[in-house]
Amino acid sequence: MTEEIIIAGFGGQGVLSMGKILAYSGVMQNKEVSWMPSYGPEMRGGTANVTVIISDERISSPILNAYDTAIILNQQSLDKFESKVKPGGMLIFDPNGITRLPARKDITIYSIAAADEAGKLGILKVFNMIVLGGFLKLKPLVAPEFIHKGLEKSLPARHHKLIPDNEKAIEVGKDLIQPFTPAD
């Protein structure tokens, strides 16, 4: 098993954190992992993406030109990465702020209204964990107990009191993700 993932959106959306939590969770489950962030000089508000590879075998290179899964959180990222999902792969997107919907027919597409749900919950900072929950429902690469360990490892100790909110958001995401069919 090898899963090559790109997570992309605006800086400040928790893109890099989501990737880090997923990567740490994989490490805690004794998987081979690569985590490679990329962000513009603007940081908050600029585009950010992270490549995460989780595998049962040694990873030869962290640099990818195509992905098994793209998790897309803004229009610029959809424009840039939709074409880079391997045929038969998967794209997950949050429709908030998306003006041109995904259109490919050779991949499986899912929508997750995580930004709206985080607003309803009144905890905007769990937006990325809602998205992660949706992804993990579709591709349970790491077991829940290792996600907990990944949260503990990636969050500073002073924020460990937020772990239950993050875990609840992951469960919300599992219920929220929906198949999306591109228009003809």
Q: What is the CATH number of the domain that holds 14?
A: 3.40.920.10
High-pLDDT (> 70) share of the chain, %: 96
Hey, what are 30's tokens? 């004794």
pLDDT at position 42 is 53
The residue-averaged pLDDT of 131-159 equals 94
Burial letters 34-64, b for 16+ CB under 10 A, else e: bbbeebeeeeeeebbbbbbbbbeeeeeeeeb
Task: Write the CA distances from 66 to 2, 7, 9, 54, integer angstroms.
Answer: 13, 13, 17, 15
Mean pLDDT confidence for 87-95:
98
Among 35-39, 63-67, 148-152, name the one with the lowest average pLDDT. 35-39
Given a cut of 90, whether residue 180 has pLDDT beyond it is yes
Q: Which structure tokens are listed for 138?
A: 């579709």
Structural tokens at position 40: 């513009």
* Amino acid 47: pLDDT: 81
- Residue whose C-alpha is closest to residue 33's, from 8, 15, 58: 58
Evaluated on CA atoms 90, 94, 97, 100, the torsion sign reads positive
Which pLDDT belongs to residue 13? 87
Is 43's pLDDT higher than 80? no
Q: CA-CA distance, 80 to 99, in Å (whole number)?
A: 14
State which residues form the domain around 34: 2-180
What is the average pLDDT across 130-146? Answer: 96
Q: What is the total count of domains within the chain?
A: 1
pLDDT in tens, 2-26: 999 999 998 888 899 999 999 999 9
Model confidence at 130, in pLDDT bands (50, 70, 90)? Answer: very high
In the predicted structure, residue 40 carries a pLDDT above the cut 70 = no
pLDDT category, 123, cuts 50, 70, 90?
confident
Q: Are 104 and 182 in contact (CB under 8 A)?
A: yes
